[in-house]
Amino acid sequence: MKRLFAVLLCMLALTLSGFAKPPAKKSAAPPAPDKAYLQKIWDGWSTLDPANVAAFYASGPHTFFDIAPLKYGSWNEYENGVKGELSGYKSAKFTLNDDTVIHSHGDLVWATATVKEEMTTKAGKVEMGNFRWTVVLENQDGKWMIVHDHTSEPLQ
C-alpha cells in the first residue's frame, strides 16, 4: 500500500509540474520615448509612404483612429487605407508642437501633442493647420511599438 501511495504521489507531482510554466522572459523596457523619437515617427509620415513608419507600429489587432476614414483595426488596414488618403499629395511636413507631453508607466507610454501640418496636393494647393495626436506605445521585446494611435482634426 505504501508503494502504491508513493507511486501515485510521484505521478501527481509529475502531472502538476507539467502545468507549471516558467515565467515569461520580458525584455527590460528601454528608456521611454522622448519628443525626438516621436518626431521621427512624424518625419516618416512626412514621406507620404506608410512603409517608412511601419517599424513603429505593432502588428496584430490594434485600433488606429485617423482623420479619415473613422478607424482601422490593425496596422495592415491602416497602412493600406492611408495610402489612398495620401495619394493626392506630393509633399508633406509634420512637426510636433511644444505642447507634447509624454507619460510613462512600466511597459506602457502614452503621449499627447498637437502637430503642425503643411501638405501640398498634387494640384499645388498648400494646406496648413494643426491636428491632435494621442499615441500609446508598448514595450515589445525591448522596442517601443505603437499599439494605439488617434489623430483628429479640430472642427473649424
User: For residues 145 and 135, is the Cβ–Cβ distance under 8 A?
Assistant: no
pLDDT tens digits for range 24-37: 445 677 899 999 99
pLDDT tens digits for range 47-98: 999 999 999 999 999 999 988 778 999 999 999 999 988 999 999 999 999 9
pTM of this structure? 0.80
Length of the chain: 156
As a CATH number, domain 30-152 is: 3.10.450.50
| In the chain, where the domains are located | 30-152
Q: Rounded distance, CA 56 to CA 59, Å?
A: 10
User: For residues 98 and 71, is the Cβ–Cβ distance under 8 A?
Assistant: no
- Local confidence band at 5 (pLDDT 50, 70, 90 cut-offs): very low
